[in-house]
Amino acid sequence: ASQKRSKVVGVAIKDRGASMPAGHMGDAYWFDSNTGEFMTSSYYHDKLPTWVEKFNEKKIVDSYLSQPWNTLYPIETYTASTVDDNPFEGKFSGKETPTFPYDLAELRKTNGEYGLIASTPFGNSMTLDFALAALEGEQMGMGDETDFLALSFSSPDYIGHRFGPQSKEVEDNYLRLDQDLERLLNYLDKTYGKDNYVVFLSADHAVAEIATHMVSENVPGGNLRTSAVVSELQNFIFDKYGAGKWIINSSNGQLFLNRELIREKELNQEALENEIALFLLKFDGIKDVYTGTAMRTSAFTKGRAELLQMGYNHKASGDILMILEPGWLTGGATGTSHGTGFTYDTNVPILFYGWNVSAGESSRYATITDIAPTLSMMLDIKLPNGATGQPILEITDKK
Ligand SMILES: [Zn+2]
């Protein structure tokens, strides 16, 4: 849209958090937990820009990890969370309880050294430090075209997965992230002037409740032991159709069948998929089972099946797709995981602020895929080539 005059930079601790939002033509930097420095890929650069090298020389990560992680405010004021010490939260290795304070200088030795910062709110602060260095180093927002900074805070995800949504740790993370966002907005106000920039904020997912916690509160749920289910299924197919490794892989609620073996034995893949789907439905916690064939040949227009189909990749997805009951997860007894299409994990905020955005709120259903079309309409440029959402009219029509 600007003949490449616009600068696009993605920044995150996670590689995918930086590169995916920056797109194919942007630049991306992420945290290397082996070196404690921000890195890129030769896809973007042969050599790090000077401003990145200068940032890395400071080794900011060491100063963040030399301080303890304690609560920002007195812990008794944290009323949006449950008791700090409970059996449902994941622990750091080398610490008996999932409780404040966390001695990071000590814990880094047994928790991946530099990698530990990702699981603390200081991961957000460090990411912001780097993002501000990127704005300056790349002289972003100083030219005639609109530049785009895709800043992804990865720590809420790590903290959310380990401690769950009801934890003191998550509450503290958001109180601290709020301060980081204040620092960002103050910087933008000071550097570009109010209303000379537009910010949007959203998330890739929320945090599902820890299943064991909910069960302890009489809410139905549980952890599905996928490996046990897969081995029972393997035996079922074995008994009926003979020896062989029938299931090649099981990941993210999807099973990948041995298509070669199915062909060799001259079985009908679709019929076998349906047979497996019915077999799997006998397990507690498995709510729906869809087949790859159904995903390719039907159009699902409602609920979780529609979500599943939107994420179904004809070339790469599994042959069997499972949806668990609400409250159910795959994974261990502590912490929480991904993979549910229910609102407690899919509802995330979408906030727009700044240039041409008037104050207001709406509880109308919108999705994160609406963000790119909304920005495109605001900037009066073409939609990105893979865009599937719709502009959020509450924002674009107030121009
Ligand atoms: Zn996650």
In the reported structure, the alpha carbon of residue 42 is separated from the centroid of ligand 1 by a whole-number distance in angstroms of 27
Same structural domain, 181 and 258: no
In the reported structure, the alpha carbon of residue 2 is separated from the centroid of ligand 1 by a whole-number distance in angstroms of 34
Domain range for 166: 8-210+346-355
Residues in a beta bridge with 338: none
Same structural domain, 179 and 260: no
* pLDDT at res. 399: 47
In the reported structure, the alpha carbon of residue 202 is separated from the centroid of ligand 1 by a whole-number distance in angstroms of 14
Q: Once rounded to an integer, what is the mean pLDDT over residues 16-31?
A: 96
Same structural domain, 135 and 273: no
- The rounded mean pLDDT for the chain is 96
Has residue 399 been placed in a domain?
A: no
* pLDDT at res. 238: 97
* pLDDT at res. 199: 97
Q: What is the pLDDT of residues 292-329, one digit of tens each?
A: 999 999 999 998 899 999 999 999 999 999 999 999 99
Same structural domain, 249 and 169: no
Same structural domain, 187 and 227: no
Outline where 193-323 has alpha helix (H).
211-216, 226-241, 259-264, 269-280, 292-297, 303-310
Q: What is the pLDDT of residues 183-205, one digit of tens each?
A: 999 999 999 999 999 999 999 99
Same structural domain, 161 and 238: no
* pLDDT at res. 232: 97
| Three-state helix/strand/coil letters over 174-191 | HHHHHHHHHHHHHHHHHH
CA–CA separation, 173 vs 71, rounded Å? 9
Has residue 204 been placed in a domain?
A: yes
In the reported structure, the alpha carbon of residue 152 is separated from the centroid of ligand 1 by a whole-number distance in angstroms of 13
Q: Is the pLDDT of residue 331 over 90?
A: no
Strands 148-152, 8-12: pairing is parallel
In the reported structure, the alpha carbon of residue 141 is separated from the centroid of ligand 1 by a whole-number distance in angstroms of 31
Res. 398 pLDDT band, cuts 50 70 90: low
In the reported structure, the alpha carbon of residue 158 is separated from the centroid of ligand 1 by a whole-number distance in angstroms of 7
Has residue 234 been placed in a domain?
A: yes
Residues in a beta bridge with 368: none
Res. 333 pLDDT band, cuts 50 70 90: confident
Count the Cβ atoms, other than its own, within 10 Å of residue 131. Answer: 24
Give the count of domains, the chain. Answer: 2
Has residue 239 been placed in a domain?
A: yes
Res. 339 pLDDT band, cuts 50 70 90: confident
Q: Is the pLDDT of residue 179 over 70?
A: yes
In the reported structure, the alpha carbon of residue 326 is separated from the centroid of ligand 1 by a whole-number distance in angstroms of 17
In the reported structure, the alpha carbon of residue 157 is separated from the centroid of ligand 1 by a whole-number distance in angstroms of 5
Same structural domain, 76 and 166: yes
Q: What is the pLDDT of residues 69-87, one digit of tens each?
A: 999 999 999 999 999 999 9
Nearest 5°: phi and psi at 287?
Answer: -95, -50
Q: What is the pLDDT of residues 95-153, one digit of tens each?
A: 999 999 999 999 999 999 999 999 999 999 999 999 999 999 999 999 999 999 999 99
Residue 315, CB half-sphere, CA atoms under 13 Å: how many?
A: 0
Res. 275 pLDDT band, cuts 50 70 90: very high
Q: Is the pLDDT of residue 271 over 50?
A: yes
Same structural domain, 128 and 259: no
What is the CATH classification number for the domain harbouring 291? 3.30.1360.150
> Encoding tokens for residue 4?
């490449």
Same structural domain, 108 and 159: yes
In the reported structure, the alpha carbon of residue 342 is separated from the centroid of ligand 1 by a whole-number distance in angstroms of 15
Has residue 303 been placed in a domain?
A: yes
* pLDDT at res. 9: 98
